Structure 1
């Protein structure tokens, strides 16, 4: 049984896939890992590249599936994983050199921990690597029975990015937490919020896990046409959180913290949806309406006057008028 299972969802990344896989196979140390490439119905040469790479490089296996999105692809990888520990890597990013060697030492030194969190560097278009502003990781263990305190510690250090996590597979299996297939954008954060219900102890490592490529055109993060998909994913996540509250998995205090975290994802996107393109606004509206339970919530929205005004308008006049009015301020 391998020590690590490295799960890499693959979709139309023919220009980046080789560098991603290379960053894994060139990790120093024993070949105590498996790397699972999940081709999510790619329409370029990515699927064929996966097969070619697996034929040449030991430790790689390939799963081809119909396109279902990043969350579904990660779940497919989880189902196939056999390693003691799980790592996630996006196929346009790279594993930091020496990561597995550092993790071997950390896991052996802290056998009572199930969830390790590290850092990342932003991989700029010019090839330079820069720290991410706004995150503050304090190395060492963090234990608390207070869900909100655990959430604050996690998001202060790492925000929602599973490619900075190393998770014990048996713990994840026991928690029975998976990625939400209907969450087609930012699928990390509902996974984080639910898994955190099952883990009172986190361990933060002063270790770079990932070189995260920024500014890739056409991604869900950079293309305004993908805004409706973002809100559809947010609505799916909100429904899941509401079920966790309704069935008692999340108590009132935990659910309140979850709502604030969800709203912190929602409000920047809601403001972004105030675009001049009326067709995009119209496509977003049904999902933004479904997200009304989040309108009173959020921590970041309380820190800026313009955001508070936008929140008040959403609560008072509704999203249709608010997005239209805010769009008039756009150039």
Structure 2
């Protein structure tokens, strides 16, 4: 008998969190599972911890490979998976014990190819731990067109981007030869390909996955990654290609799609403002971002061009580099000194509708 669910986790140097994460899988009320832990060339004790778990529980398969990244590790797991459904775990996060049971029963009841659940963001900022829950109403989509007309509602709030809040029908992934690509933000690229031809999708109104957004000992880098802008362009062009393939022309839907990119450009310019570059370099980078045609399309077509938020966006549409940098510094200040308020407000902005 094949297991009901195969859990796949790419593991790389997470010895401090791995035991709690894997234990949360083994304690699931749904017992008929296999767990594939792929050690992606860890240099710490992660590989030994995997072997120890595998020796104690025959549901666990421990694999070891040369470091190739999370995408390659997940693909290794997909090739070995025997379960009817696939679930991808990040090995520094954890699940409440009923999550897989609820997702499996939900997928079976409605014969879903893809099930999506909520989650809890876990933060540790300035010596203070706090959580922010992110959950959407229960919903069932039974046709391609039905889901395509509503997919944008899940784009900007992390629901579509990540793999760890989803249960995938294994046969669907394998029949469509779907794997994680070797690109930046491979999880969103992967999920966009998953939904390209999807028919039956369900959203479950639970939040039993705990995602470490920031943890004790972590520090925010002040070094700007010059490839970030190009990676964002690549990512958004992929999103637009899927919507073009779907022949979606509704302006109200595309408004949400372009808003996704607008908010990423705000995040990008905030990171530019908050790094250690000389001010002249910052201005140069921001001018490049603001002059790009996709950026301008996003701020003109996105839903953020209306209401009070729209006033905030005017400097971006008018390419006012100095003002945009000042806004970035303000955002960084609020994020650093009022973390709880900042992250809860961000969830609200991502979910808000005009």
TM beyond 0.5: yes
Residues 200-219 of structure 1 show CA distances to partners (whole Å, capped at 9, x for unaligned) of 43212233341222322677
Cα distance, 1:91 vs structure 2: 0.8
Q: Is contact 1:120–1:212 with CA below 8 Å preserved after alignment?
A: yes
Q: Is contact 1:121–1:131 with CA below 8 Å preserved after alignment?
A: yes
TM-score relative to the length of structure 2: 0.73
Which secondary structure does the structure 1 equivalent of 2:63 belong to? strand
User: Equivalences for 1:218-237 in 2 at 5 Å?
Assistant: 222-225=220-223, 227-228=225-226, 230-231=228-229, 233-237=231-235
Q: Which runs of 5+ in 2 are unaligned?
A: 334-354
Q: Which residue of 2 aligns with 1:45?
A: 45
RMSD: 3.8
TM-score relative to the length of structure 1: 0.77
Q: Which residue of 1 aligns with 2:85?
A: 85
Q: Which residue of 2 aligns with 1:274?
A: 273
Q: Which runs of 5+ in 1 are unaligned?
A: none
Q: Is contact 2:13–2:46 with CA below 8 Å preserved after alignment?
A: yes
Which secondary structure does the structure 1 equivalent of 2:195 belong to? helix
Q: Distance in 2 between matches of 1:107 and 1:252?
A: 27
1:207 and 2:203 aligned: no
Cα distance, 1:109 vs structure 2: 1.9
Q: Is contact 1:42–1:67 with CA below 8 Å preserved after alignment?
A: yes
Q: Which residue of 1 aligns with 2:4?
A: 3
Which secondary structure does the structure 2 equivalent of 1:68 belong to? coil
Q: Which residue of 1 aligns with 2:313?
A: 308
Structure 1 residues 36, 71: closer, same or farther in 2, change over 3 A?
same
Q: Is contact 2:103–2:204 with CA below 8 Å preserved after alignment?
A: no
Structure 1 residues 290, 312: closer, same or farther in 2, change over 3 A?
closer
Structure 1 residues 204, 3: closer, same or farther in 2, change over 3 A?
same
Residues 144-196 of structure 1 show CA distances to partners (whole Å, capped at 9, x for unaligned) of 6152423215656935332111111111223444333211x4x4333333322
Q: Distance in 2 between matches of 1:50 and 1:104?
A: 25
Residues 14-72 of structure 1 show CA distances to partners (whole Å, capped at 9, x for unaligned) of 10001001101121343x21111122232322223222322222211223333333333
Q: Distance in 1 between matches of 2:115 and 2:211?
A: 18
1:162 and 2:181 aligned: no
Structure 1 residues 197, 272: closer, same or farther in 2, change over 3 A?
same
Q: Which residue of 2 aligns with 1:182?
A: 183
Q: Which residue of 1 aligns with 2:121?
A: 122
User: Equivalences for 1:96-107 in 2 at 5 Å?
Assistant: 96-107=96-107
Q: Distance in 1 between matches of 2:178 and 2:48?
A: 31
Structure 1 residues 64, 127: closer, same or farther in 2, change over 3 A?
farther
Aligned length: 318
Which secondary structure does the structure 2 equivalent of 1:253 belong to? coil
Cα distance, 1:228 vs structure 2: 4.3
Q: Distance in 1 between matches of 2:288 and 2:89?
A: 29
